[in-house]
Structure 1
Amino acid sequence: MRLAEDLVDEPGTLLIIGPSKAKVTGGSPRTAARADWPEDLLRARADLLPRSVVDDRTQLPAWQRYRGHFYRHVGDALPDAAASGRLLILSGGYGVARADEPIACYDRKLRLRDWPPGTLEAAIQYEVQRLGTRRVLGFVSKSADYAKLLRRVRWDVDATLVTIDFHGGGAQAEVPKRLAHAFAAVWLREPERMPPGVVTEPLS
């Protein structure tokens, strides 16, 4: 694997993480503002969300909506990364969301077949170009559709998938927990915090 020092956050890096099934309910009253995303993504969202379990009366910034193992173990690195404007969250209901983007409480796992071909890949590429990104680091489970999506993107920047190789019991809790620790180690530039089992996969 690449050395932790080679993965540390630096200007121009876009970070991508997954969501969680467990979510925080409530939030602020829904607003009518439209997010700045390609029309294909917005249309796909508008088609998919009504067919999902969703309570859109209130909204929270995406990074605050989730409360699964990753989100409970990542610590202060997550709000700091969200505030940087360089954090994307993959989502079953929204496809791709910026960390500070208001989203409703929903229940839908990401299934690539739910989305028009190329829509999510194009949205990620849109964000790369909008931010002038030079590097992308994705922190998701290696076998889920989240990783499959990142592998499908035709990257024209340096892109790396960070996953966890873990074969013991309790993987559903341990893998996101270790991903959270890996994310924190990268963001905080503390390579000594990198957990065991981290594997990096070049995507470009």
Structure 2
Amino acid sequence: MAIFDNIAKAAKDFFVEEDDAATKPAVTPPAQLASASSSQPLPSFSAGAQPEQRHLDHIAGLLTGDGKDFAAYMKMVKSMAAAGMSGPLLYQTAFNAFAAINGATVLGLLASAATFETALQSDRNKVLERHREKIGETKGSNIAPSVLLNLTGQEQKLALEIADLTRQLQEKQQQLTETQQQLTEERQKTQSALASYEAANASALSELQTHRKAAETFLAGSGAVK
């Protein structure tokens, strides 16, 4: 907004009057706010994660108010910070300008901030619960299984089938190995038997031929052959 830009440009020349400070509640410095909330557990998140635009839009919707709340005040603070202001002067100047526009009070702003924090925490709890349902950690009532849960079930089913096929393959591999061993033994036996027969046959044939030639020679020479 143009008025925010004008306020930011004039911020360095803006001084908070002591009378105003006495009549208006003091703004808690950021350091004190951080100290007061340091005992509360912070939500865990991946520091390297880049939020998607749809999530940024969703969060922006949660922080949308009537223009007189803490979300609008934060916009003014960031606008002035971009102009070079910082520290207590930044927050006090932003509050003075913000209050002059819509009559806001410190207590009202802080209550508004607490409301936004509660809304963010509540929304996060819902998202985390749905996330646990999606990954199968919890089971929601009357809620159809998510795509992730269906794929997880399919993955487990396929893994079991692969394990069973692997077991069957190992059994078949063992059977193949045993069969190959038996085949090798039978081939060796067959080859040994053939070699034995060949030796016996060759020996008998050689002996027969030797005696036949001798008989032909000796018997023919003696005139026994007619």
Normalised by the size of structure 2, how large is the TM-score?
0.23
Which protein has the larger Cα radius of gyration, Structure 1 or Structure 2?
Answer: 2
* Structure showing greater relative contact order (alpha-carbon pairs closer than 8 Å, 6 or more residues apart): 1
Higher strand share: 1
